[in-house]
Amino acid sequence: MNKNANMPAAGDSVVSMVGVSKSFGSTNVLRDINLEVKKGESAVVMGGSGSGKSVLIKHIVGLLKPDSGTVTVLGKHVESIWGDELDHLRLSIGYLFQSGALFDSMTVKENLQFFLDRHKNLTQQEADETILKTLEWVGLPEKLSQYPAELSGGQKKRIALARAIILEPELILYDEPTTGLDPVSVRMVSDLIVQLQAERGITSIAITHDLLCAEIISDSVHFLQDGQFLTSGSLSEISRYKDPAIASFFGDISVPTS
């Protein structure tokens, strides 16, 4: 029996945020947030622009520290670890940045190589094999020598996804993985996310306002509003929740009930 009712059973939970609050100056961005994501689960965080979604996800990799509350990731208390211990935890977490964050002056291969070199001690042959295998997985092995400017938006997202998974993380955080993509590319990137979950049991937390993406990838959806989760559930449950913020977020688009 758990001493703390908010804490999941040991071994089950990959991410657990309990009572997390964060302010910048007088702006209370997160207010007493509780979130639990279990192994193999795909959680989606939705909410309006500026509602604190990116701030929330940054707490999970320790880029931001909470003013109060605890953030436990893969058994580590992220709010109280620093330096090497935090770096070590980050090796188990893939992070797809909202901006994509590829280096424009480097080829696809150099972008991936740079990331690998920083975190792993591989021979050049091992690195080449790892890069090619990962690019094949996202379906873009032929883009090895191209620069980000020579790629389409969807291809850039897939290369950023390749970089997020190249170290074979246990947990992946996606910040707007499909923003700005056409529906075909949205489906392609979303299917890759599901495939990672299905084939490798990877746990994920994705921020998205893309309903098609959320429909494809989500096991659970959490709607952030005024620094708190207004409601959590399946996408169709959330979309039917009676609240003006939800109504305006979902607009007239009806979510299929499943």
203 binding partner (options Mg ion, ligand ATP, none; Cβ < 5 to 8 Å by kind): none
Our finding on whether 156 is near ligand ATP (CB under 6 A) is no
Interacting residues with ligand ATP between 51 and 80 (CB under 6 A): 51-55
Phi then psi dihedrals of residue 48, to 5 deg: -65, 165
Our finding on whether 50 is near ligand ATP (CB under 6 A) is yes
**Angle CA 28–31–32, to nearest 5:** 155
Our finding on whether 231 is near Mg ion (CB under 5 A) is no
User: Measured between alpha carbons, how far is 203 from 11 in angstroms, rounded to an integer?
Assistant: 13
16 CB-contact burial (10 Å; exposed 0-12 / middle 13-18 / buried 19+): buried
Position 182, amino acid: D
Residue 132 or 245: the one with the smaller Cβ distance to Mg ion is 245
Position 252, amino acid: D
Residue 54 or 232: the one with the smaller Cβ distance to Mg ion is 54
Our finding on whether 54 is near Mg ion (CB under 5 A) is yes
51 binding partner (options ligand ATP, Mg ion, none; Cβ < 5 to 8 Å by kind): ligand ATP
User: Measured between alpha carbons, how far is 155 from 143 in angstroms, rounded to an integer?
Assistant: 9
Cα 71 off chain centre by: 15
Residue 52 or 94: the one with the smaller Cβ distance to ligand ATP is 52
Q: Tell me the closest approach of the beta carbon of residue 9 to ligand ATP, in angstroms.
A: 30
Binding-site residue total for ligand ATP (CB under 6 A)?
A: 12
Residue 28 or 54: the one with the smaller Cβ distance to Mg ion is 54
Residues 91-110 as x/- pattern, contact with ligand ATP by CB under 6 A: -------x------------
Q: If we measure between CA atoms, which residue out of 46, 15, 51, 19 comes closest to residue 33?
A: 19
Q: Which helix (H) or strand (E) holds 21?
A: strand 13-24
User: Measured between alpha carbons, how far is 139 from 128 in angstroms, rounded to an integer?
Assistant: 16
Q: Tell me the closest approach of the beta carbon of residue 52 to ligand ATP, in angstroms.
A: 4
List of residues contacting ligand ATP (CB under 6 A): 24, 27, 29, 47, 49-55, 98
List of residues contacting Mg ion (CB under 5 A): 54
